[in-house]
Structure 1
Amino acid sequence: MHLPIDLNLLLLAFGGLAGLTTVLFGFGGGFVAVPLLYAMFTAVGTAPAQAMHVAVATSTAVMIVGAGFASLRHARAGTLDMGQLRPLILPVSLGAVIGARAAISFGGEGLRAAFIAYLGLTILDCLFRPGFMTRAARPARPMRRRATALIGLGIGAVAAFLGVGGSVMTVPLLRRRGADMTTATAMASPLSLPMAVAGTIGYVGLAEGATGQVDAGAFLALAIGSTIGVRLSAPLIGRLPDRLHARAYLVLLTLVLVVMVLL
């Protein structure tokens, strides 16, 4: 499965956009890469079911690059809370392997429907449940170890299953626990990194072929673009007003939802 050179150049440009959304919103690039790759592969004649599988697997692999560099940028900016991160890393990684295995066994059209449904539910939850649009006045008590493990497993499994990174779950969660948007989105990148590594190992190791369901050419173009995007957007860390940051997060999720419905 190979894309024409002009489409690879487009992937390079959108990789830059993915890098920007990774730094500012913790999306890990998946919300940019999955719809784009799905549209491209179906446009060149790939069956929709196969196209969705490859889009999710390739997006997960690209997140290793984007989330890795974004985590370094946030660490330098001092926006990471390692006390909240450490207990989640192992369960997120284990959940990612489960999610990747489930995605390989799941029908492509069903995977697309799950992607759309999850986006829709997340948007509605952020809009109508208190604590996201306006920062919580008091942070909640720290989660217990068992709750942290279960939440981490869920984040990793859903993120790898849909190829979107952990932001769609971690940002609303941390937001409702009193974090500002800069901190909440910063925490999503280092959690997306172990998820992306574990998920990619699952996609490569559990599927047929040398790279499994990851398209090497598309991965390379998106990864290069993502690295450039992360570098260019790093100076914007912490510069967006909190309420505007939250609104922009939801606008981007809604845009991706509309695109996926129309494809």
Structure 2
Amino acid sequence: MIAGIPLGDLAFLAVSLVLAGAITGLLAGVFGVGGGAVVVPVLYEVFRVIGVPDEVRMPLAVGTSLAVIIPTSIRSFNAHRAKGLVDLSILKVWAVPVVLGVIVGSYIARYAPADLFKIIFVIVALISAIRLLFAADRWKFGEEMPGKPLMITYGGVIGVLSALMGIGGGQLSSLFMTFYGRPIHQAVATSSGLGVIISIPGALGFIYAGWPKMDILPPLSLGYVSLIGMILFIPTSIWTAPIGASLAHKLSKRRLEVAFGIFLLFVAGRFIWSLIS
């Protein structure tokens, strides 16, 4: 037994996190997401197996996901920026409202019931998936990005939801950008930059949010951030993120949309099952 965790559970945790880290980095590069849509459900299952109480299992998965996203997003963003598709003007407008939204989301996380995280995850994933699979070019709010006031509002919403979902914001910002006629490849590339803006204050916020629950959190946790999860996830996710970014630029627009849509359906289905079972 190490740090209160049986050796068998520790071995399962280590193997699961290393493999999931590789998949996370790959998807972070392909879809311009920080990987949270993969990290959260994987960590949720891993924490369930090792006996983490249901009361803290989902927020612990979300907080750890935000911490893992930090290096993955940086690597993914740099890879996309090198290809010249990142629109920095959009990131500059979103930076402050997104961070403020993350702070609000982290505060909500301190008091929210565990099921709230799952419900938000499911709603956003389903809307995104339906749009990508069945109405790819028909759901549009306009042909140009909106003015600064509406962009600031979008930024705040992205920040709050991203904090509660444990994602880097790429899924949400890509959705908003394609609503205004931006090509999916540019949306994915630009969205990868939000992971950096969201993940750092988000991880710190979840450390704060989980502090009152330290007595029931598993060993090697810092608030709602699992340190062992960070250590095992990060190396392989950093290694595979540039591979995913290269793959994204080789896929056709429609294939990228369909692949992302199917992936989101799978994630939503898993959490619906956990809510009703």
TM-score of the alignment, normalized to the shorter chain, above 0.5: yes
Q: Distance in 1 between matches of 2:164 and 2:139?
A: 30
Deviation at 1:222, TM superposition (A): 1.2
Gaps of 5+ in 2: 215-220
Match of 2:217 in 1: none
1:55 aligns with 2:61: yes
Identity of aligned residues (%): 24
Deviation at 1:146, TM superposition (A): 1.2
Amino acid at match of 1:13: L
Q: Distance in 1 between matches of 2:127 and 2:145?
A: 25
1:26 pairs with one of 28, 32, 36? 32
Match of 2:210 in 1: 207
Question: What are the superposed Cα offsets for residues 14-40 of structure 1, whole Å, 9 maximum, x if unpaired?
Answer: 111111111111221111111111111
Judge conservation of contact 2:31–2:248 (CA < 8 Å) in 1. Answer: no
Q: Distance in 1 between matches of 2:33 and 2:47?
A: 22
2:130 pairs with one of 108, 120, 124? 124
For 1:92, what is the secondary structure of its paired residue?
Answer: helix
Deviation at 1:262, TM superposition (A): 3.1
Deviation at 1:136, TM superposition (A): 8.4
Match of 1:258 in 2: 269
1:43 pairs with one of 36, 46, 49? 49
Amino acid at match of 2:63: A
Judge conservation of contact 1:48–1:109 (CA < 8 Å) in 2. Answer: no
Match of 1:74 in 2: 80
When the two structures are aligned, how many residues end up with a matched partner? Answer: 260
Deviation at 1:257, TM superposition (A): 1.4
1:161 aligns with 2:164: yes
Gaps of 5+ in 1: none
Q: Distance in 2 between matches of 1:81 and 1:26?
A: 13
Match of 1:149 in 2: 152
Please say which of residues 228-237 and 240-249 is displaced more in the overlay. Answer: 228-237
Question: What are the superposed Cα offsets for residues 162-219 of structure 1, whole Å, 9 maximum, x if unpaired?
Answer: 1122122111211122222211111111112111111112112343157221000011
The two structures have a TM-score, normalised by structure 1, of 0.91
Judge conservation of contact 2:248–2:256 (CA < 8 Å) in 1. Answer: no
Deviation at 1:255, TM superposition (A): 1.2
For 1:27, what is the secondary structure of its paired residue?
Answer: coil
Match of 2:180 in 1: 177
